[in-house]
Amino acid sequence: MRLETRVLAGLIAFAALATSATAGDYYAGKSIDLLIGAPPGGGYDIYARALARHYGRHIPGQPTIVAQNMPGAGSARAAGFISTMAPKDGTAIAAIMPGAVMGPLLEERAEALFDPAKVLYLGTANSGTRICVARKDSKVKTFDDARAQKAAFGGVSSNDSTREYGYMLKKTAGAQYDVVSGYSGTAEIALAMERGEIDGACGWDWSSFKSQRPDWIRDNKVNLLLQVGLEPNAELTRMGVPAVFKYVTNEDDRKVVELVIAQQVFQRSYIAPPGLAAEQLEALRAAFDATMRDKDFLADAETMRIDIAPLSGAKVQELVQKLYAAPKDMVARARQAITP
């Protein structure tokens, strides 16, 4: 190895060690608040608490991760708190929904609680597929049934996929159900389905569904109507669940659906505040990536039936920037598709 190359390699290694040591000194004896922008018991809560159990080990100094729920506005409340009120010192982060990231782009009247293009992304734990599902005893047995007759499908609020995908599929795929909004999350939607209040829901994350209601699949209590993703999910395809683009045949509608569901690439995102020092951001991002590879975390995820398909914080940041640079006419059509 040439002398110059050895010297450069040594300097890089020294810099990495110095950064780690400095970050370790900084975080030693501290705790990090992880705000979960969803109610307890839902998929986002399950994922975030799984992360919290392992994340701290990979951050230099091994701070304690304190998970706490801050639901509201489809997780935009937690994102807004992180952006404006939380300390900008790396001791507060949040787990947010992709709808909160896309809301300011796709909802013309969305309350600007934070700027998705300015928060700092630590990574995402999963690139997901979403589904439409109905009770087994519902008159809706297939998505063709959902296109042919009235039914009641549950939804949460703006920024939540159960509401926005519900309307999107009505406007682009011909669904005839009524979207009944106002549920606090998918856990409450599941209870409403069990009580017979609603027939089903669209926009439910497949991984969350498997974790929340494994008995529904095991005991054949539901009809899986549709899978929604940029690419078909192999598991759902084997189960005979049709893909969304079977029913979205108009080219303009297809582009709208592609723009809306691009958010699924960063399905389980974690953010830090704008203005966070580069040193802390680097430490938190590296620790997130290490956690996604951690065998104990992966074993925990397997036990909880949650899928892990991570994307680095830098790549999520880049993708969000590209989405916010989408053509205005396409954004306008997408806005129309996800609103009542």
Give pLDDT tens digits for 164-218.
Answer: 999 999 999 999 999 999 999 999 999 999 999 999 999 999 988 999 999 999 9
Say which residues have a Cβ less than 8 Å from residue 12's Cβ, sequence separation at least 6: none
- Residue 16: per-residue pLDDT: 46
Q: Please tell me the distance from the alpha carbon of residue 337 to that of residue 335, in angstroms, as a whole number.
A: 5
Eight-class DSSP state of 147: H
Q: pTM of this prediction?
A: 0.77
Q: Among 240, 231, 173, 233, which Cα is nearest to 202's?
A: 173
Query: What are 206's two structure tokens?
Result: 């497949």
Kind of pairing, strands 200-205 and 152-154? parallel
Q: Region 102-109: what's the mean pLDDT? A: 82
- Residue 24: per-residue pLDDT: 72
pLDDT at 280 over 50: yes
Longest Cα–Cα distance of the chain, Å, equals: 75
pLDDT at 1 over 70: no
Report CA-CA distances (Å) from 28 to 13, 32, 52, 56, 277.
22, 11, 17, 11, 17
Percentage of the residues of the chain whose pLDDT score is greater than 70: 92
Q: How confident is the model at residue 22 (pLDDT cuts 50, 70, 90)?
A: low
Q: How confident is the model at residue 109 (pLDDT cuts 50, 70, 90)?
A: low
CA angle in degrees (0–180, nearest 5) for 18-23-24: 95
Q: Region 269-282: what's the mean pLDDT? A: 96
Q: How confident is the model at residue 252 (pLDDT cuts 50, 70, 90)?
A: very high
Q: Using one digit for the tens of pLDDT, what is the confidence trace for 208-237?
A: 899 999 999 999 999 999 999 998 999 999
What SS3 state is found at 188? helix
Q: Work out the mean pLDDT of the chain and round it to a whole number.
A: 91
Strands (E), the chain: 31-36, 64-69, 92-96, 120-124, 130-135, 152-154, 178-180, 200-205, 222-228, 269-272, 311-312
pLDDT at 111 over 90: no
Beta-bridged to residue 93, according to DSSP, are 34
pLDDT at 327 over 70: yes
- Residue 107: per-residue pLDDT: 79
Q: How confident is the model at residue 9 (pLDDT cuts 50, 70, 90)?
A: very low
Which residue in this structure is represented by tokens 């001791």? 91
Which residue in this structure is represented by tokens 């998918």? 186
Question: 10 Å Cβ neighbour count for 186?
Answer: 27
Q: Among 16, 140, 26, 40, which Cα is nearest to 90's?
A: 26
| First CA to last CA distance, the chain | 65
pLDDT at 3 over 90: no
